[in-house]
A and B are shown apart, each in its own frame.
Chain A
Amino acid sequence: MFFLQTVAPTGGVTSNEVFDRYPDLVSSIGTDMGAFLPELVLCLGIVWVIFVDLFSKRQDSRRPGWHALGVLGLSLLTLVLGGFPSAEEAGSLFHGMVVRDGFAVFMKLLLTIGTAICVPMVMSHKDLQGRRMGEFYGLLLGSLLGMYMMASARNLLMFFMGIEFASYTSYLLTGYLKGDRKAAEGGVKYVIYGSVASGIMVYGLSILYGLTGSLDVGAVAQALIVTKASPSLLIITALLCFAGFAYKISAFPLHFWAPDVYEGAPMPFTAFLSVVSKAAGFAILIRFVVAFGAPGADGQALTLASGKVLDLDWPQILAVLAMFTMTIGNLAALWQNNFKRLLAYSSIAHAGYLLMGVAAVVPRIGAEGDPGWQPVLFYLVVYLFMNLGAFYIAQIVAARTGTEELPGFAGLGKRAPVLAVGLFLFMISLIGLPPTGGFTGKWQLLKAAWENGLHTLVLVAVTNTVISVYYYARIIKLMFLDQGDGEGYVLPVGQRTAVVLMVVPILWLGLFMDSTVHLIRSLSFAVIG
């Protein structure tokens, strides 16, 4: 204590104080529970889905899937009925543990829709049949619950709890196919990388606690301004905390787990990881950056953003990481022959593009007008549909051809035109070409980065987009120009509808993006502190 002169005086809480505060603590919980309804639905749903499977007489692996969809629908309904809280209604629940604001509700909607798209994929996956499937859905819903927490946390402990809860369930689901060597390898690698990353993050969070004596994000941000911690310590703390988020969004330098895990995990869960998990990671990263990233108002005040490493400040560090992430993802993707691995590297590249948006958030914190995170959220919406769509089609093709390698897509244009056209549009969108949502989304990200002075980053991102054309277009060439063996097949109505349902939002977001942009711009964000 005597050598660490930055500890803020907090004063211990005596046991009598706890008893005195107890009625107040308890009385608000009941009212907060009403706003917590989507999470409660999920909590009960997890148990319900497992028990439906456990007590069913017939072994029907699809049945818990329908129930999981029901739970997700109910949760979605409670979210929609709750509406987006306005700036006045936004606030924190459970004594500052979680916030309820438009941003959190929007992210929860996004996460729920993403999971709901993954569930039918699980139901139709050929390896995910037979016994104990109720547990798979239970774990999937559990992961979603953890991500709800990530989207709305405002306490450092909730940050950690949310990330860990989402991670542990993900580890289990990655290695769910016990007999599969690749699944086991992916699961173990995921556990090792995940625990190291969260260990580093907890270290960073513990320094924050040590500096300020508080776990509440608002209180920490306030206390940091008055502490006299050295800038180097602050930037190191910020980077340590960033490790946990970087691992969740598979950003450089914590992206190494992604290809093996994506390849080993069952296809529907790979889709879940690459989209839903990543969206939750960005939600918590944005919250962290907005809370701690604001530069000191008068040049004197200190925040986590005031530190510098090698003369780089916080947005510049994020920009450099974004550059590395997108470049590594794209260059590695060029050599891939496995569809899942290819999309794994592609998703690393997209994490880079999104990180570019986060880097552009920093200069806009506290400024008037639209919040800086609007392009990131828009791109996440687009990314959700285009990536899930690509995985969905890949799963259908893999089930038909029996391989997840790229040659399995050869001649798809003749065999199954609906799938080929769908995948073509998703690839176009992943490249970022009009008339798809990928174009409008990426354009907004680039615009935000350019307007906030990250010119080099924009150039790198554009170059990367050009590189990425090669491997996305390779799939398009395989589908339409190459000859493939195998007979043509007629898609079941359900699958055809599903493909159309995912293509429509991509085109909608590409052609009529205004309504979505306005919605995101109008979201309230509980300013912490």
Chain B
Amino acid sequence: MLFQYAHALIGFLFGMVFVALQVWVLVRLLSPKVKEPMKDSTYECGEPPVGDAWVRFDMRFYTMALIFLIFEVEAVFLFPWAAVYNKLMAITAGKPGAWFPFIEVFLFVVILAIGLIYVWRKGDMDWVKTTMHGRFDDKHVYHVADDGNPDKKSVA
């Protein structure tokens, strides 16, 4: 009954042996051996590495990356849509589903715009913004806020 899967098993075993052979045996036999201190260093796009990789990154980079995602998702889905847009509009012209290709993407952009409004309102678009203890305003005056609430009145 299960014997019909035997060649899958054989293929799997063969694959394992093949990979092991390459990684551990063939590489040792065939590869040229050049000893050089740079070869042991961390690869950073061809540049000589500077400093330790275990530094703390500013949280704001992550926020920015998330905000970037809004626009990226927008672009990723708008390109294929744009490629077929004329054709779809021509097909649906005068039929019950006319304008559907447009409305659908319009809603999609509106939803993403809502996300944009949200981060904007939250102040995540400002690079200089609330910290644990306070924030700088537009005139670079520091305001203390006890709970990180930017709506609080300035104290200092």
Residues of chain A at the chain B interface (Cβ within 8 Å): 3, 5, 19, 22-23, 25-27, 29-30, 47, 50-51, 54-55, 59, 131, 230
Question: Could you jot down 28 A-B contacts, CB within 8 Å?
Answer: A3-B4, A3-B7, A3-B8, A5-B4, A19-B88, A19-B91, A22-B91, A23-B91, A23-B92, A23-B95, A23-B97, A25-B97, A26-B92, A26-B95, A26-B97, A26-B100, A27-B96, A27-B97, A29-B97, A29-B100, A30-B96, A30-B97, A50-B118, A51-B114, A51-B117, A54-B118, A54-B122, A59-B149
The answer to whether residues A230 and B1 also contact, given A19-B91, A23-B91, A54-B118 and a CB cut-off of 8 A, is yes
Measured CA separation A50–B111 after assembly (Å): 13
Cα-based distance from A131 to B5 in the complex (angstroms): 58
B87-105 contacts to A, CB under 8 A, are: 87-88, 91-92, 95-97, 100
Contacts of B118 in A (CB 8 A): 50, 54
Closest to A18 in B: B84
Chain B: residues with CB nearer than 8 A to chain A? 1, 4-5, 7-8, 87-88, 91-92, 95-97, 100, 114, 117-118, 121-122, 149, 151
Given contacts A23-B91, A26-B96, A54-B118, 16 further A-B contacts (CB under 8 A): A3-B4, A3-B7, A5-B4, A19-B88, A22-B91, A25-B97, A26-B92, A26-B95, A29-B97, A29-B100, A30-B96, A30-B97, A51-B117, A54-B122, A59-B149, A131-B149
User: In the complex, which residue of chain A has the Cβ closest to the Cβ of B11?
Assistant: A3
Determine whether the beta carbon of B87 is less than 8 Å from that of A19: yes
In the bound complex, residues from chain B placing their C-beta under 8 Å from that of A26 are 92, 95-97, 100
Q: Which of A5, A23, A29, A47 is packed against the most chain B CB atoms within 10 Å?
A: A23
Query: Which residues of the partner chain B approach A131 to less than 8 Å between Cβ atoms?
Result: 149
In the complex the two chains form, is B5's CB within 8 Å of A3's CB?
yes
Given the complex of chains A and B, what is the CA–CA distance between A23 and B118 in angstroms? 35
Evaluate contact between A55 and B121: CB separation under 8 angstroms.
yes
Contacts of A29 in B (CB 8 A): 97, 100
The 7 closest A-B pairs by CB, nearest first: A26-B97, A27-B96, A26-B100, A27-B97, A23-B95, A54-B121, A22-B91
Contacts of A25 in B (CB 8 A): 97
* Chain B residues in 8 Å Cβ range of A30: 96-97
Residues from chain A with a CB closer than 8 A to the CB of B91 are: 19, 22-23
What are the residues of chain A within 8 A of B151 when measuring CB–CB? 59
Shortest CB distance A138–B (Å): 10
- A169 → chain B, closest Cβ, in Å? 16
Give min CB distance, A3 to chain B, whole Å.
6
Distance, CA A22 to CA B151, complexed state (A): 50
The smallest C-beta distance from A223 to any residue of chain B, in angstroms, reads 20
Instruction: Give the chain A neighbours of B87 by CB distance below 8 A.
Output: 19
Bound Cα distance A334, B94 (Å) = 68
Residues in A whose Cβ lies below 8 Å from that of B100: 26, 29
| Shortest beta-carbon distance from A177 to chain B in Å | 15
- Chain A residue nearest to B121 (CB atoms) is A54
- Which chain B residues lie closer than 8 Å to A23 at the CB level? 91-92, 95-97
B149 to chain A: which residues have CB within 8 Å?
59, 131
CB distance from B122 to the nearest CB of A (A): 7
Q: Is the CB of A27 within 8 A of B95?
A: yes
A23 to B90, CA, bound (A): 10
CA distance A59 to B149 in the complex (A): 11
